[in-house]
A = this chain, B = another copy of it.
Amino acid sequence: MVTQTEFISVRLRELIMTGEFAAGDRMQEKALADRLDTSRTPVRLALTELAKEGLLEYKPNKGFVVRGFSPEHILNAIDVREVLEGMAARMAATIGLSEQSQKKLRASLLQIDGLLAKEEFEYADAKMYAEINGDFHSTIVEAAQNEVLVEMVEKFDAIPLAGSKSFALVTTKDLAAIHQLMERNQQQHHWVYNAIVDQDPARAETIFRQHIHEARDVLGRVMKDLRQSKINTSDFPLLRLVG
């Protein structure tokens, strides 16, 4: 172990991002310290970090509260992500891919092709898809060779459902629908990969933006269902942060 504070910070982030707490819940220092078997000092430092990340709100003399993310906020975030990742794809295509990036992207493509080709597509596969999807997107962003861009895009991971790791995880339990969505997405992954390898910046940007835009639309529909109480948040605890 390195320091208590770092550990607590990770632990609390996990607890929040898995929906252990709902939007608006107070994060009381003493209670958390007891629960995580430490003292208030590292808890307070960790809470300060999480607040800066945007996961919590802080009011002087009142403490920290779990932040709620409105559907509009999440969709706004994805609009911004579309622009930034579009830029990344364009830059990556302009610069050209390093051998290593190319390998990583091809590996992600192959893994997802494999998942989608499986006889029995399971919920665990959908989760795996989301993870590999995140890798694919991150690799493209890194290929743009702009550290600031990388940092900015990473901030979306602190907004529930806004990052590229969250894809499709909460849409439905209808595996066939999820599978179909992923087919379409994977097609776009291949296209953007080809555009980047061909060093066609305009096409790479257009495809990647469209790719993210479609995901945004899907999520928009999901959140509409959520508003109409068609989704049970005990099935998808993360949604407790939306409201």
Contacts and interface: CB of A to CB of B under 8 A. Distances in A.
Nearest to A77: B148
Interface of A is mostly: helix
Q: How many copies does the complex hold?
A: 2
Q: Which 10 A-B pairs have CB atoms at the shortest separation, nearest pair first?
A: A52-B52, A77-B148, A76-B146, A2-B60, A76-B148, A83-B87, A3-B60, A48-B48, A80-B148, A80-B149
A8 to B, nearest CB: 12
Nearest to A90: B83
A147 interface: yes
A151 B159 CA distance: 13
Nearest to A78: B148
A49 B54 CA distance: 12
Nearest to A91: B79
Nearest to A79: B146
Given A44-B45, A54-B151, A80-B149, 11 more contacts: A6-B60, A45-B45, A45-B48, A48-B52, A49-B52, A76-B149, A79-B149, A80-B87, A80-B148, A84-B84, A152-B155
A61 interface: yes
9 contacts: A2-B60, A2-B61, A6-B60, A52-B53, A76-B147, A80-B84, A80-B146, A83-B84, A83-B87
